[in-house]
Amino acid sequence: MAIWWIGNIVLLVVIAPVVVFLLNGVLQASRKVSAVVDDLATVGTKMASDLEPVPELLKTESYVTQTTAGLARYGAALDEIL
Amino acid sequence: MPAAAVVTIILAVVVVLVLAFFLLATARVLARVNTQLAAVIDAVGTIATRTEPVDSVVRSINSNLATARDVLSSLLVSKVGSDGAADLIASVDPLAQGPSVDREAQIQYEREYEEEPYYEPEPEPVQAQAPEPPPAAEDAVIHYERAGWTEPAAEPPWEQAQEDEPAAAPAGHGTADVGQDADPEGYDEQPRLLYRRASEDPGPAPAAEPDAPEPEPVRRSPGGGGGKIRLRHPED
């Protein structure tokens, strides 16, 4: 019976605080991960919004192609003029 | 049932409750992390989708611009020759006529003619002093740029202007009006004089003679400056 009581005391004084300490560590780490992931999500969303004008590069490509063709025509005409 | 057993059961229940509390909290946090990571993965997927054509588009633009450059360069070379094309390209090169050179020359000029104290003629022996060597090609280019022309000519510009060769200089670079007093305020007088001095230097100086006249002392900036930009007052 005495040993049982000693086991109860050990359970109350040692085991329970250790379990609480370890679980608290896991919880704090999870919260830190959550904060970092929040920042990551914010940055990812901003990056995605920053890249919205990227499809405009297709227009730029079209304009450059047209400009190049115009320059070639201009050069040909200048060649004949000069 | 003994009292010890009751206490054990109670303690076990308490530990299980504490475990459940922390595990639930952790699970909730991890579920939130999972949701955020899903959003991040979506954003990264969107970024990858949007940036997918960038490579081909940029390569296409570069190719088109290179084609245009090649066409115009070949046209220019066919009309004015490779040397003339190089001169023309150099004349419109912003690095060749950037404002920093002119600004430095202007600051140097203002220092030399507004503040005299730092000018002290150097006592140099007359016999050992050779006439000042002509400016290096770099100096001549700087004088030339200050004079309003952007490309060096093999002959003085006032002679070049008389030859009426429009292809020798690009339009708008002032070669055609060389020798004309277009500026009534005399703004261009000094740069022209500077250019004339730079171009009329008689080549490498001969060896010093014992009875050679004392050369004109050279104004030098306090910081040295390497003598690249040498400005002389017209009345000196």
Between B71 and B221, whose confidence is greater? B71
Between B79 and B26, whose confidence is greater? B26
Q: What is the pLDDT of residues B152-186, one digit of tens each?
A: 444 444 444 444 444 333 333 333 333 334 344 44
CB spacing of B50 vs A54 below 8 angstroms? yes
Q: What is the pLDDT of residues B25-73, one digit of tens each?
A: 989 999 999 988 888 888 888 888 888 888 888 898 899 888 888 888 8
For residue B141, the surrounding DSSP H or E stretch is helix B137-146
Residues 6+ apart with CB under 8 A from A58: B53, B57
* Cα separation, B32 vs A35, whole angstroms: 10
Residues of A in contact with B75 (CB under 8 A): 75, 78-79
pTM here is 0.43
Residue with tokens 């949007």: B50
Whole-number average pLDDT of chain A:
86
Give, as one character, the DSSP assignment of residue A82. -
Pick among B16, B35, B71 to test the A interface (most A CBs inside 10 A)? B71
Report the pLDDT value the prediction gives residue B103, as an integer from 0 to 100: 56
Using a CB–CB cutoff of 8 Å, tell me whether A34 touches chain B.
Answer: yes
* Cα separation, B58 vs A64, whole angstroms: 11
- The average pLDDT across A56-78 equals 86
Give, as one character, the DSSP assignment of residue B211. T
